[in-house]
Amino acid sequence: MADYGELRRIRARNPERIAEAAAARRRRPLLGDRDQLMIIAADHPARGALGVGGRPLAMGSRVELLDRLAVALARPGVDGLLATPDVVEDLLLLGHLDDKIVIGSMNRGGLQGAVFEFDDRFTAYDTGTITRMRLDGGKMLCRIALDEPGTSVTLEACARAITELAERGLVAMIEPFWSRRTGHDLSAEGVIQAISVAQGLGATSARTWLKIPVVDDMERVMQATTLPTLLLGGDPGDTPDLAYAAWRKALRLPGVRGLVVGRALLYPPDDDVAAAVDTAVAMLGSP
């Protein structure tokens, strides 16, 4: 287990060490020998989404989350992390991000269940900080709800971030959903609509990657884009075997460049993080 007393001491007395750790971090190319990536996601807590399966506060302990992330990031075949600044900085200070891709989560302002949920403000990373901290890109959630005025603000902010990241040669990872307050439209038609809007955002799509859910008829969904696409793992609930089977099939489709998975691997039903991560890595294309 990590020395969290030392981590807390550094945060209180030597916060400048965060920037020093970012400057010293060993970086790697986005795509290495293997054409598909395994990215571990840990940006749910910043939106107030702490539940996993039947555990409403599963992600409520930061120390436990960091322990689980340390296990996941150390497994062979794990390429990197997607997280908000607080999590990235903890892991930088703990020394877990060398030779990893690091994607900064940008808009976390649409808190789960809030009346302003669809006005998804950029309250975490901005492009300037992603650049200064030597991260590899930025991720943004883009929920498109035709009956929510906040959607227009979110669309404009996402477009601006995509343009700014591309200007700096950084990945813009966009996670689009065709949505209502009752939930996302996870039909093939709904995902295709969301992709069609999202991939047109920004002054260029040269650095844009998609992050989309695995749904029925993924063959038709993947015909909607030529952009590099990562599959969103999501929370498989009590049926991880069914989720894994769907991921495995979708990973074989043209244009799919890997997985971005958080809760499903960090909080598996048997709490064996290493085994869950190894199972997911084994689904990826061979180097």
| Residue 75 placed within a domain | yes
pTM: 0.95
pLDDT of residue 238: 65
| Residue 287 placed within a domain | no
| Residue 97 placed within a domain | yes
Kindly give the confidence (pLDDT) of every residue in the chain, 287 residues in length, as a single tens digit, with 9 standing for 90 and above: 678 999 999 999 999 999 999 999 999 999 988 899 999 999 999 988 898 888 889 899 999 999 999 999 999 999 999 999 999 999 999 999 999 999 999 999 888 888 998 999 999 999 999 999 999 999 999 999 999 998 999 999 999 999 999 999 999 999 999 999 889 999 999 999 999 999 999 999 999 999 999 999 999 999 999 999 999 986 666 677 788 889 999 999 999 999 999 999 999 989 999 999 999 999 997 55
Write the CATH number for 178: 3.20.20.70
Angle separating helix axes 85-94 and 62-74, nearest 10 degrees:
60
Angle separating helix axes 4-13 and 85-94, nearest 10 degrees:
110
Whole-number Å distance between alpha carbons of 209 and 193: 16
Residue 202: domain span:
4-281
Q: How many domains does the chain have?
A: 1
Measured in degrees and rounded to the nearest 5, phi and psi for residue 61 equal -90, 115
| Residue 108 placed within a domain | yes
pLDDT digits (tens, 9 = 90+) for 80-99: 999 999 999 999 999 999 99
Measured in degrees and rounded to the nearest 5, phi and psi for residue 283 equal -80, -20
| Residue 286 placed within a domain | no
| Residue 22 placed within a domain | yes
